[in-house]
Amino acid sequence: MTRDVVVIFQVYLISFGLQMIAWPWLFKFGGKLMDHGWASGRTVITLVVALAIWFTGHLKAPVNNDFGVAIALLVIVFLTWKLLGKEIKPALRSVHKIGYLVLAEEILFALGFFGYALVRGYQPDILGLEKFMDFGFIKSYLVSSTLPAADMWWAGGTINYYSFGQFWASVLIRIWGVAPSVGYNLMLAFILASTLSLAFSVIVNLLERDPSTTPAFSEASLGMTKGRLIFSGLVGAALVTLGGNSHTIWYFLTKGTLAGYWYADATRFIQNTIHEFPGYSFVVSDLHGHVLSLPMVLIFILLLITWQKEKRRLIEIGLGILLGVMAMTNTWDSAIYGLLLALLFFLNLMSRQTSIRELTKTLVVVGVSAGITALPWLVGFSSISDGLAAVKERSPLWQLAVLWAVHIGVTVVALGVSVRGKNKNFLVLALGLCAITLILLPEFVYVRDIYPSHPRANTMFKFTYQAFIMMGLVFGWLTGKVLNIRNKVLSAAVTGGLFLLFGSLLIFPYLAFSSYYGGFRSYRGLDGFSFLYLRFPDEVEMIGYLEKKANGKNLIEAVGDSYTETDFISAFSGIPTVVGWRVHEWLWRGGYEMVGKRDEEVRRFYETGSEAEINEIIKKYNLGWVVVSPREKEKYKIDEKKIKSLGEIVFSGKVSYLVRIR
């Protein structure tokens, strides 16, 4: 563990250095936020680096490597010194003014980063669910000097998925200078830590009153003490990042005990649907788009807070860039936060805070910025959905209540509070209305995909995931308002009720983390490949050999079903195979016909293919390597004499071997 603590500390120091590069920019352009957007610094600066490499790499310049990332960082440092040299000292001196917020956010980030990184050490394996896919994308980006990167499970093709988040992860792994198998777990810790600090930042900035008649950022403009402000931010940040839904409460009330509670039921309670939330994501630790986009959506909301105070074109460009990044990271989020934007614009229009003409200009700026940002990805992306359809079955109302009763109840109260008095908070109103809309939408429409037996699953998953985040933020905001009620008896009573609900929602992470991580009894380290050394020692050596001897040729291995322990040689080495997980490629390629054809070609290669057929397959898919392991032997009746005659056995273990084709 000591060695891992040193690595975690080194990565934290590097990330803090990135934060300090970003701070002069945040100080200059984030002045309308109480904390100047401190919590967003690490994410913003690394997204800028990633976007610079992303655009240049798609022009076929070989910059997607350590050297390219280093140059991008040096350019940013140079521009910071050149353009904002005079702002650096004032930026550093200003920290004392907002020091309590900066300190709170930095402590939250550090605790989240160190704490969750060590938690991952109790179950670090990049194994189960879709971790092979997540890591495979990261590895593909790490070995591709130009973009788009090759699809590790579709030899000759490029990634056809919203995978910018995994690309961003690959950039951070390069900056940190750690092994990818360790970087996977550190990236999860980075996302959790960023989510904690950013959610806190959103809530404290939502709680600030109009400072036009009082000193900005003072207790007069806040209407509350700093202690209450920080407490409210902590409540919301904990709920957004780690909290559960109401399912745990329902289970306890109906069973009278939490013994035997299975945490995954909170995400699969309504038949044939998925209703996850960030706390569950951090338990099972897939590095999926909806997880990678968490800091992005929270920064988007921070920008909306800024836009409400000062409707500047630069802010609108920032909103557009983030929408474009969301489209490439988790495409659903661009639609969801487009809806939030539309609701906020409508409320501003109805309250006459802006005009139709000005809103039209804003929409054009946001739309054009988003389109330009997502253009490199859009050009090569083929849609994997098949439009909208009306639902044929709806969730029973009692089941919706089991999942969302607490969150919706608190949100409805917050909606009423947000429109009272002179200082109406239209962003809180928009967040609450948007969240409730997102919960209701899957009861009427869904986006069609290739899963007919679970038609609403993905739609409900993506919509309610963001609804959960929005309602967690609103919960934190309402906590601040309740703490500030002048009637002490009423304030204590309502605060007690909210705190009881808060505590009940945090039962979920207590049960779930303990279950998934084996009660934290055995620490294993941060290396996500640790399971390979124990279970697949031959494959570990084979992967290492392929990484060292990569020659631009693809490999062939057994075709596996999705979510199984197959096709990890290609995913972990970064060398594409003919076809990997069937159903995933079926989704990404828009149909099963091509997938089925490749599946049959792989079978013939290992089994009955003639010499002419084998040579045709080798040429068609630019094959240079043949994997023979227990998975191939279990899947096919291998003609090993034929396979060995194709070239030289360059690696041979106890149960597996690798042939390099002549």
Q: What is the pLDDT of residue 96?
A: 64
pLDDT of residue 453: 75
| Collapsed DSSP state (helix, strand, coil) of residue 584 | helix
Position 28 scores a pLDDT of 85
Q: Is 12's pLDDT higher than 80?
A: yes
Closest CA to 508 of 226, 277, 224, 195: 277
Distance CA 539, CA 657 (A): 9
**3-state secondary structure (DSSP) of residue 608:** coil
For the segment 81-103, the average pLDDT, to the nearest whole number, is: 77
- Per-residue pLDDT at 140: 98
Residue 215 has pLDDT above 50, yes or no: no
Residue 447: beta bridge partners? 388
Query: Where does residue 223 fall: left (phi above 0), alpha (psi -120 to 50 degrees), or beta otherwise?
Result: left
pLDDT of residue 214: 39
With b for 16 or more beta-carbon neighbours within 10 A and e for fewer, the 252-261 pattern comes to eeeeeeeeeb
Neighbouring residues of 380: CB distance < 8 A, sequence distance ≥ 6: 148, 158, 160
Q: How far apart are CA 432 and CA 438, in angstroms?
A: 10
Q: What tens digit of pLDDT does each residue of 90-100 get? A: 777 766 667 78
Is 212's pLDDT higher than 70? no
Q: Please state the rounded mean pLDDT for residues 223-231.
A: 84
Give dist(CA 567, CA 561) in Å, integer: 9
What does the pLDDT read at residue 97? 67
Question: Backbone phi, then psi, for 658, in 5-degree steps?
Answer: -125, 130
Q: Which two tokens stand for residue 405?
A: 């009763």
Determine if the pTM surpasses 0.85. Answer: yes
Q: What is the DSSP letter of 382?
A: -
Q: What's the rounded Cα separation, in Å, for the pair 239 and 106?
A: 18
Please name the residue that has the structure tokens 């690394």.
46
CB 22 within 8 A of CB 295: no
- pLDDT confidence of residue 223: 62
Q: Which residues pair with 389 in a beta bridge?
A: 446
Burial class (CB in 10 A: 0-12, 13-18, 19+), 532: buried
Residue 364 structure tokens = 């054009």
Q: What is the pLDDT of residues 436-464, one digit of tens each?
A: 999 999 999 988 877 777 889 899 999 99
234/202 Cα distance (integer angstroms): 11
Q: What is the DSSP letter of 443?
A: G
Burial group, residue 491, by CB count within 10 angstroms (0-12, 13-18, 19+): middle
User: What is the pLDDT at residue 48?
Assistant: 97
CA 286 to chain CA mean position, Å: 9
| Residue 83: both structure tokens together | 């353009």
> Average pLDDT, whole number, for the chain?
92
What number is the average pLDDT over the span 347-363? 87
- Pick from 357, 17, 351, 6: nearest CA to 182: 6
Angle at 231 between CA 104 and CA 516, to 5 degrees: 80
Q: Is the pLDDT of residue 424 over 70?
A: yes
Local confidence band at 547 (pLDDT 50, 70, 90 cut-offs): very high
What is the C-alpha separation between 23 and 381, in angstroms, rounded?
35
Question: Could you give the CA distance from residue 460 to residue 463 in angstroms, rounded to a whole number?
Answer: 5
pLDDT digit string (tens) for 484-514?
A: 887 777 878 888 888 899 999 999 999 999 9
Which residues are 156's β-sheet partners?
none
Confidence of residue 265 (pLDDT cuts 50, 70, 90): very high
Q: Which pLDDT belongs to residue 2?
A: 86
Q: pLDDT for 119-169, tens place per residue?
A: 999 999 999 899 999 999 999 999 999 999 999 999 999 999 999 999 999
Residue 210 has pLDDT above 90, yes or no: no
